[in-house]
């Protein structure tokens, strides 16, 4: 109980001030004694109230010493509070506990590297950042914005590692994935021999640039098909998987050669006997024209016959408006 040794009845203003003082003391006492809770800790962490977050997570790690998430957040909070030794100890603990429990090692290593950068231990920071980057760390915004890396942004090692982290986050921005971009768009498709319309195709880039997606519709027929085309970075080749409404399935692999996407199937056994080998090519004839040429062989490539020869012409706004009116 708090006793106020003054006669407050004679001065209302003093009474109000005293009551406010007492209220603040009770509030402070209550806050100081309040037990840590995950909700309160997360709230402090999200609002970047680092001293409170550090206090809360420190108590929580005492309560649950095997919780990798609590140790991780304690480490981040301690670093932000400039308590670097405590941060390193907490993050090492988080990394050890996180194996198989939802805390990726590259993330823990990134936080350790950032802490060493904050201390000014450049070599150790870059060494651990390299481990993190080559193990798949994929948060380039962190690397671009975390203040601890400011003094290293012009360092050649840091620049190379930042490039690797950006690649981890967006691997399909590599130049190989853009080799088939000449086929993207909306196309009217006709026979190369006589100009007879054969169908239309919508080709789009999907899945963050990882897939060239073909949507083919035949003219005057319910037949349609789709293909998924992508660069396989492990095998260093392009691959296409085709499916259609006649239960047709084809798998091609190849490469871009002399501005031609050059695809082949394996020599595939047929249900009627024998084998069949296909050679499919896409010729880049300019910004608005592509030739698609398919050949087949029943004798493992000794002789070939033409399956189809098509010209893709990019649709105009007039073509699109006419199609929409139907």
Give me the tens of pLDDT residue by residue for the chain, a chain 326 residues long: 333 333 333 444 443 333 343 334 333 434 454 678 999 999 999 999 999 999 999 999 999 999 999 999 999 999 999 999 999 999 999 999 998 888 999 999 999 999 999 999 999 999 999 999 999 999 999 999 999 999 999 999 999 999 999 999 999 999 999 999 999 999 999 999 999 999 999 999 999 999 999 999 999 999 999 999 999 999 999 999 999 999 999 999 999 999 999 999 999 999 889 999 999 999 999 999 999 999 999 999 999 999 999 999 999 865 655 555 54
Burial label, 32 (beta-carbon count in 10 A; 0-12, 13-18, 19+): exposed
Fold entry, domain 176-325:
Lipocalin (2.40.128)
Residues 6+ apart with CB under 8 A from 31: none
Q: Where in the chain is the domain with CATH 1.25.40.10?
A: 37-172
Q: State how far the Cα of 241 lies from the Cα of 251, in Å rounded to an integer.
A: 5
Q: What pLDDT does residue 316 have? A: 80
Neighbours of 201 (CB within 10 A): 24
Q: What pLDDT does residue 100 have? A: 85
Q: What pLDDT does residue 51 have? A: 97
Q: Where in the chain is the domain with CATH 2.40.128.20?
A: 176-325
Q: What pLDDT does residue 318 have? A: 54
Alpha-carbon dihedral 30, 34, 38, 42, rounded to 10 degrees: 40
Q: What pLDDT does residue 101 have? A: 87
**Helical ranges in 50-104 per DSSP H:** 50-63, 68-80, 84-98
CATH of domain 37-172: 1.25.40.10
Q: What pLDDT does residue 181 have? A: 98
């Amino acid at each position: 109980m708090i006793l106020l040794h003054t006669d407050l009845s004679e001065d209302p203003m003093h009474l109000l001030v005293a009551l406010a003082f007492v209220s603040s003391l009770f509030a402070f006492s209550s806050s100081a004694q309040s037990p840590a809770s995950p909700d309160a800790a997360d709230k402090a962490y999200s609002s970047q109230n680092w001293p409170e977050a550090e206090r809360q997570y420190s108590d929580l790690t005492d309560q649950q010493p095997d919780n990798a998430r609590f140790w991780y957040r304690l480490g981040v909070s301690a670093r932000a509070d400039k308590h670097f030794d405590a941060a390193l100890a907490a993050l090492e603990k988080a990394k050890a506990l996180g194996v198989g429990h939802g805390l990726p090692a590259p993330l823990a290593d990134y936080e350790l590297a950032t802490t060493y950068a904050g201390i000014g231990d450049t070599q150790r920071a870059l060494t651990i950042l390299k481990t993190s980057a080559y193990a798949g760390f994929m948060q380039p915004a962190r690397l671009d914005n975390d203040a601890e890396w400011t003094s290293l942004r012009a360092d050649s090692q840091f620049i190379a590692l930042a490039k690797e982290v950006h690649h981890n986050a967006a691997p399909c921005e590599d130049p190989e994935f853009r080799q088939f971009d000449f086929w993207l768009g909306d196309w009217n498709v006709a026979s190369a021999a006589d100009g007879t319309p054969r169908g239309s195709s919508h080709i789009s880039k999907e899945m963050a640039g990882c897939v060239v997606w073909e949507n083919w519709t035949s003219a005057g027929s319910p037949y349609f098909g789709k293909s998924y085309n992508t660069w396989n970075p492990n095998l260093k080749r392009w691959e296409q998987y085709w499916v259609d409404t006649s239960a047709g399935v084809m798998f091609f692999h190849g490469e871009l050669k002399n501005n031609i996407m050059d695809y082949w199937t394996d020599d595939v056994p047929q249900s009627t006997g024998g084998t069949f080998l296909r050679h499919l090519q896409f010729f880049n004839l300019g910004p608005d024209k592509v030739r698609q040429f398919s050949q087949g062989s029943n004798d493992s490539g000794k002789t070939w016959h033409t399956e189809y020869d098509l010209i893709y012409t990019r649709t105009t706004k007039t073509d699109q408006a006419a199609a929409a009116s139907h």
